[in-house]
Amino acid sequence: MNHKCKMCGGVLTPAGKEKIITCEYCGTKQTLPCPDSERIAGLYEKADGYRRNLEFDKALALYEEILNEDSTDAEMYWLALLCEFGIEYVEETVGAKRIPTINRMQPVSVFDNANYKAAIQYADEEQAVIYRTEAEEINGIQKEILEISKREEPFDIFICYKETDENGRRALDSVLATDIYELLTKDGYKVFFSRVTLDDKIGVAYEPYIYAALQSAKIMIAVGTKEEHFNAIWVRNEWSRYLAMIKSGAKKVLIPAYKDMDPYELPEEFKHLQAINMGELGFQQDMLRGICKIYNEIAAEEDRLIGGGLMGQMYAGMKARDWSATSECAENILKVKPQCMEARVCKKLALMGIFEGKDMEVWDLPGTDENLLEKIQSGDTFYLDMLNTRLNNALPEDIEKNYDSAIELFHQAQSNDDYNKCETVFRKLKGYKDAPNYYKQITIKLSQYDNSKRREKYNEHFKLIDSDNPEDIKRALRYFESVPGYLDADQRAEHCRARLPIVEQLAARKEKEKKKDFFKSEQGITLIVVGSTIIISIIISVIKIISEM
């Protein structure tokens, strides 16, 4: 079965059922699927086409269908992840290696993604290396997007529409969306409308700004005049992500607004939503009235959940040092109000196990006000921004990934080097989760290991005490003198000092006798050599006399 390169689209022709191959066109080493039937191969090929065409939802549905039949296929989990993040591979320069770009930013790190974890779980060693390497790259892009998006002001309403028609001309959808934008802006709403909002962002990636707006907007208006316009890749990308946020619990509302088309032609996902027909007289007044009602209801719900319930529960969790409850409440608040700085700060404090200013010293941060909660509850914007920045800088990169790796290494550790590696990671994690407890356990194990090694070294030198070699005694003496107070090292050193002269005398006597024996043996050898020489001379003389006769 032939495949196409994930990055450049070049044809890949594996020799057999190999899972790793290098593309001859872009030089990228990548993983390959191994479908075990023609049906699965067909589904994969169709899904692959959708993914290349950036129709991520359609591709994801097919990958999930394949996984329903084989839940151990690592490559399908990885491809599903690429769809979730809307990964498109582009080249920076001609002929250069393709790099991933994110078209569907996710708030959760790629390392915490369920599909990523499953891919690693079922991958062989070589596959896992490639997945981890690509995930590192995606994670870096995620961080850049988040950094930019955090600086953006929140929006009230997001207008989703198609800018150009199939001929490349400005679509009617864009004109209608402009009218709605001006109407809502005039009424005091802060509206994300790409034609205007992204006008000064030419030459940069739009995703951070789109992601920030999708996160903050309470209402989305999806404008369209044709079925295919609602299903256009980038239009669908925006409204499908917004619906996913609603499905996950975010307090948001999506309003379809259509014209010159049958409402039954709207996407299937819109069937349960109340749509607006822009062809009807007075639709603008009806829209404004409806938006005002929805906006106020969401705002009231936010006040009820955040101001009364969730915010109070979050602070109660902080007071009880219940970091799990604090983090959960903060997460729920951020679903309702993504820009809530109090929740962002409390989530980080819970992550790091910080309750009071003095707790920050654990993370090598200068202490702030003793009662952090009072200061956070005061809503001091300048203080919250400053504290949020300091906490961000203190958290190690990929903290959860490092934590999981360290725990895995801790349970598999078999040598002092393994424990030393764990100790280094857990020291950086400081107060994160139960990292301090693991750190204590490692310290004890290292101490036990050191004691074991120390005792082993002690026993090794102890055996040298009874040696007849003065150098062994000296070596033992040097060691026992270097560890005063350890076991009976002081007594052993004294014993060595007392025994050393005796052993040296014995060794000197033996050396003297050895030399004497050697001298005697040397004299005997000399006599033998001299005698042999005389005999040989006599024989030569006799032979000479006989030859002359």
Strand partners, 224: 258
Q: Sorting pLDDT into bands at 50, 70 and 90, what band is 518? A: low
Q: Sorting pLDDT into bands at 50, 70 and 90, what band is 478? A: confident
More confident residue, 23 or 397: 23
Rounded to an integer, what distance in angstroms lies between the CA atom of residue 544 and that of residue 536? 12
More confident residue, 442 or 103: 103
pLDDT tens across 354-370, in order? 887 777 777 777 656 66
Q: Quick count: other Cβ atoms within 10 Å of Cβ 439?
A: 18
Q: Is the pLDDT of residue 112 over 80?
A: yes
> Can you give the residue ranges of every domain in the chain?
3-148, 157-280, 302-394, 399-462
Q: What is the separation of C-alpha 344 from the centre of its chain, rounded to a whole number of angstroms?
A: 20
Q: Sorting pLDDT into bands at 50, 70 and 90, what band is 344? A: confident
Q: Is the pLDDT of residue 2 over 90?
A: no
Q: What integer pLDDT is reported at residue 197 of this predicted model?
A: 94
Q: Is the pLDDT of residue 549 over 70?
A: no
Q: Is the pLDDT of residue 519 over 60?
A: no
Q: Sorting pLDDT into bands at 50, 70 and 90, what band is 402? A: confident
Q: What integer pLDDT is reported at residue 423 of this predicted model?
A: 78
Of all residues in the chain, the percent with pLDDT exceeding 70 is 89
Rounded to an integer, what distance in angstroms lies between the CA atom of residue 528 and that of residue 68? 98
Q: Quick count: other Cβ atoms within 10 Å of Cβ 321?
A: 13
More confident residue, 23 or 224: 224
3-state secondary structure (DSSP) of residue 21: strand
Q: Sorting pLDDT into bands at 50, 70 and 90, what band is 449? A: low
Task: Indicate the burial class of 13 (C-beta count within 10 angstroms; 0-12, 13-18, 19 or more).
Answer: exposed
More confident residue, 435 or 289: 289
Q: What integer pLDDT is reported at residue 450 of this predicted model?
A: 63
DSSP states along 307-365: IIIIHHHHHHHHHTT-HHHHHHHHHHHHHH-TT-HHHHHHHHHHHHT--BGGGGGGGT-
Exposure string over 445-460, b if 16+ CB within 10 A, otherwise e: beeeeeeeeeeeebee
Q: What integer pLDDT is reported at residue 99 of this predicted model?
A: 83
Fold entry, domain 157-280:
Rossmann fold (3.40.50)
Rounded to an integer, what distance in angstroms lies between the CA atom of residue 331 and that of residue 335? 6
More confident residue, 28 or 178: 178
Q: What integer pLDDT is reported at residue 523 of this predicted model?
A: 58
pLDDT tens across 152-175, in order? 888 999 999 999 998 889 999 999
pLDDT tens across 528-539, in order? 655 666 666 766
Rounded to an integer, what distance in angstroms lies between the CA atom of residue 507 and that of residue 467? 11
pLDDT tens across 38-80, in order? 899 899 999 999 999 999 999 999 999 999 999 999 999 999 9
Q: Is the pLDDT of residue 381 over 70?
A: yes
Name which of 247, 251, 280, 248 is nearest 263 in CA terms. 280
Strands (E), 17-129: 20-22, 29-31, 87-91, 98-102
Q: Sorting pLDDT into bands at 50, 70 and 90, what band is 268? A: very high
Of all residues in the chain, the percent with pLDDT exceeding 90 is 34
Average pLDDT over residues 418-438: 75
Torsion on CA atoms 431, 434, 437, 443, rounded to nearest 10: -70
Q: Sorting pLDDT into bands at 50, 70 and 90, what band is 490? A: confident
Q: Was domain 3-148 assigned CATH 1.25.40?
A: yes
Altogether, the residues listed in the chain come to a count of 549
More confident residue, 390 or 138: 138
Kindly report the average pLDDT of the chain as a whole number. 84
Average pLDDT over residues 419-426: 77
Rounded to an integer, what distance in angstroms lies between the CA atom of residue 408 and that of residue 196? 50
Name which of 158, 149, 80 is nearest 119 in CA terms. 80
